[in-house]
Amino acid sequence: MFRKLMVTSATWITLPIRLGLAAVFIAHGSQKVLGAFGGPGFKAFTAGNTPFSFMRPAWLWLGAAALSELVGGFLVGIGFLTRIGAFFISCVMVSAIAGVHWPNGFFGSNRGYEYPITLLAMALALLIGGGGQASVDRVVGGGGRR
């Protein structure tokens, strides 16, 4: 089962997608978890409100989202368990789109879902394709499928 999660293709296409997605989510996750880059830090972030009323207790859901961004970003960046990292990121982006950005319309200039849907698409591409070349998945998975 573990090895099946890491099976990947011999393509280089995923490398720029992985690195771009990782940069965004490591930075945003670091703001929320570590307080880096002018972010609120874990305690302040988890004291906030969730986008949906069923998400109780709020600190648990917000903590899971913050850690999903940071850990998902690292996993995607190094290409280790890429699909799991991409799944974490996808979950956060679906929640952000549906709960925060959707009412504002498409365009990012109005806080719409333009940017989060782009990040979701990148994460879904990695969820489908895996880490590709230059990934730990490729090395550990024994070369993967062709």
pLDDT at 143: 59
Q: pLDDT digits over 108-131, tens only? A: 999 999 999 999 999 999 999 999
Q: pLDDT digits over 11-45, tens only? A: 899 999 999 999 999 999 999 999 999 999 999 99
- For residue 67, the number of C-alpha atoms closer than 13 Å in the C-beta half-sphere is 8
Angle 71-77-80 (CA atoms, 0-180°, nearest 5)? 75
Q: Domain residues of the chain, as ranges? A: 2-140
Q: pLDDT digits over 33-76, tens only? A: 999 999 999 999 999 999 999 999 999 999 999 999 999 999 99
Q: How many CB atoms are located within 10 Å of the residue 138 CB?
A: 23
Does the pLDDT of residue 144 top 60, yes or no? no
Higher-confidence position of 5 and 116: 116
Q: Is this model's pTM higher than 0.95 or not?
A: no
